Structure formats: C-alpha cells, structure tokens
Amino acid sequence: MKNKKLKTFCIVAKHESYRKVEPILNESFNSIRSRIVALEKELGGKLFETQGRKLLLTSFGRSFLPHAKKIIDTIESEILTFQEDIQGGKGVLTIGTTQAIGGVWMTDFLNIFLEEHPEISVVIKAADFPFNLLTREVDVSIDAVDVENKDMVKIEISDYTMSLYASQSYIDKHGFPKTKEELADHSIIAFSEGLSKPYELINWHLSLLPQDYEPRVSINSGLAIRTFVELGKGIGSVSQIGAKYAKEKLVKILPQIAKGPSLKIFLRYPKSREASKKIKALQDSLVKNRIN
C-alpha cells in the first residue's frame, strides 16, 4: 500500500470532491479517481459514495480514515527521525502556541534555548486556536489544551492562575471597584464570543457581571487583552505570568471574589515523534527552565 494512495484518500475525504483536489495535487480527475479505486480494491471495500455534488465517506471509509492518518504519520515521522539522525539533531523546529504565550514569555525562554542549542533553528506560529499536530502544521504545540489522546505526548511545563487586573493609570482615572456590583460600572475587556478560544473558560469574569452587560472591548487575542489592560483601557483577565511580564505594573482587582480558572500549560507532540532529538532538547529545556 503506497503512501501516495493514503494521502490522496485523506485529502479527498477532507474536501469531499475530486474536482476540488485537482489543483491541490496538481493532477487530473482521472488520475485521482484511479488511485482511490486502486486503494478500494486493495482494501476490499468502498471508501466513498456520492450524495448530490459531494463525495462522502462510507462507513467503511470513516472506519479506515484514522488508520490512514496514523500510517501516514508513522511513515513521515520515521523519515523525519532518520533525517535528524543524519543531521545530528540539527535543523528547524516549528512550535505552535497561543498569541499570549508567544508574546509574553516565549521570547525569554527561546533566548535560553537557542543559547543551549545553536544547532537548532525555530519557527514560531502563534494563534488562538489549536494547531493540527498530525498533519504537520507544527512539530510541537505549547498551549492549555488538556485532552487525553493515546497518540499524543503531553508534558506539563507551567501553570497559570487567571485573575482580574487593571493598570495603575486606569485605577487613578476610574477608581478601584470594591464590590462585584461596582465592577459593572467599569470597562471590561473580554475575548470575542463565537470564535475558537485558547481555553474554554476564557471569559470566566463575565459571570460576575449582569447578563445584559456589554464589554467595552472584545477581541479574539489573549495577548491583545493584556495589552488593552496595560494601556489603561479597562479591566481584563490576565495570568500571573502575564502580569509579571507586563510593561506597566498591573494591580489585581477583587482578589477575594474574582478568582479565575487555574490552567496547566503543556508541551504536546505526536508519540510517533518521541525519537526526535530536537523535540527532546526542547522538552528538557522547558522542564528545566519552568516558567512560573
């Protein structure tokens, strides 16, 4: 069973169309279709069925899809591991993380890591949504995604405690709320609803406010929330680490009442990459230089 057949199957399954896959693979309809037919003969079952204009997976195809992805991942991981061995652990490591982590402490950590490992170059991709590790969007991910997955390695590297903070300049101008009721008279910064979040309870502080309360600013970036708080534009949810790295001193608001979630920060990567020297070097450095 050739890897190219499996990759074609996964791409067609994703796009639900041969025509849409033509420009992606730069191949003709007939070439793509014949590869799927050959795979079906090899497996002894029908992978797709046509419904209107869509090409949907059959129950047989749905059952086979995770196995196909795992086979592809295993093959590509072995190739990458072999290449690393040949290069002596040198090369590029792509790290996916959130905007807040990428913009707060990642630069300080990488300064240490790159000094320790001059043979490794890094690419940082920061976004407030999870990266797909199995499709090689990134090599590893550093985030608060706490999901058990038998195909993933998950190492705790830090922990966050979320609290409400305001800048001293905001407090000087608008005063310090002393009760939950007074909090509703202030400008609150929140994460935009309806969008992918770096963690589920990111807007925990809105539960302290009346149901009809409208945040002064809503934005889909944890880093931007801290920036607005730093600039004195309102009160927002910031971690103790975010407050520590802030350019302006941030003051905790209603610490006895406004207690946010505690989050664990993990390094995650596919189990098939456990032999990677670059990933092992990153893991060891993160554990040794734990951010608190």
* Domain residue ranges of the chain, discontinuous segments joined by +: 3-84, 91-292
Specify the CATH number of the domain 3-84: 1.10.10.10
CA angle at residue 144 from 143 to 147, to 5 degrees? 110
To which residue do tokens 């589920």 refer?
200
- Residue 272 is given by DSSP the state G
CA distance 90 to 83: 9
Residue among 123, 155, 167, 128 at smallest CA distance from 265: 155
Of the two residues 10 and 134, the one the predictor is more confident about is 10
Strands 189-190 and 217-218, bridge-based pairing: parallel
Q: Are strands 259-270 and 152-167 parallel, antiparallel or unpaired?
A: antiparallel
Q: Residue 58 corresponds to which tokens in the numbers above?
A: 């059959």
Domain 91-292 classification at class level = alpha beta
Quick one: pLDDT at residue 76?
Answer: 78
pLDDT tens string 115-142: 999 999 999 999 888 888 877 789 999 9
Compute the chain's Rg from CA coordinates: 24
Token match 């890897």: residue? 3
The two structure tokens encoding residue 235: 């009160």
Q: Is the pTM of this model over 0.75?
A: no
